[in-house]
Amino acid sequence: MYSEYSMKVIEHFMSPRNVGSMRDPDGEGTFGDLKCGDSLTIYIKVRDNIITDISFLVFGCTASIATSSMITEMAKGKTIEEALAITEKELIDALDGLPQSKIHCSVLGVKGLRAAIEDYLKKKQ
């Protein structure tokens, strides 16, 4: 069967990691794409400046589920600064690429993570 998605995208779509809401998160952020209607919420727990736990809820397409799952794997265990520095290209590369029409789905993952971190930083002040 031919698919325009990489095996990694399909695997994360079929078995997404870190799915679910979180009780008492240290940070929570939502980012949505008005054009396609997809929306991602990310929850984080932070200890000693490190993201120790992370989860997500997403309403969206195959690629948005895969990118949400992958960004949680990439961010877990990273410092706040390292997580903020994750780029859309790194996320796409980690998934072995996305079809051209689905590149914008990676924005959801990166911006959702940054929104959760910004919420954490705001609460910390």
Q: Which residues bind ligand FES (CB under 6 A)?
A: 33, 36, 38, 60-61, 63-64, 102, 104-105, 108
Q: How far is the CB of 42 from ligand FES (least distance, A)?
A: 14
Question: Roughly how many angstroms between the first and final C-alpha of the chain, as a whole number?
Answer: 52
Integer Cα distance of 125 and 87 in angstroms: 26
Which CB atom, from 41 or from 64, has the smaller least distance to ligand FES? 64
Query: What tokens appear for 66 in the block?
Result: 């895969």
Among the options 36, 57, 61, 103, which is catalytic? Answer: 36
Q: Which of 105, 110, 115, 117 is catalytic?
A: 105
Nearest distance from C-beta of residue 43 to ligand FES, angstroms: 19
Shortest Å, Cβ 107 to ligand FES: 8
Residue 36 designated active-site = yes
Per-position DSSP letters for 27-90, written without gaps between them: EEEEEE-TTT--EEEEEEEEETTEEEEEEEEEES-HHHHHHHHHHHHHHTT-BHHHHHT--HHH
Tell me whether residue 105 is one of the annotated catalytic residues.
yes
Catalogue the active-site residues.
36, 105
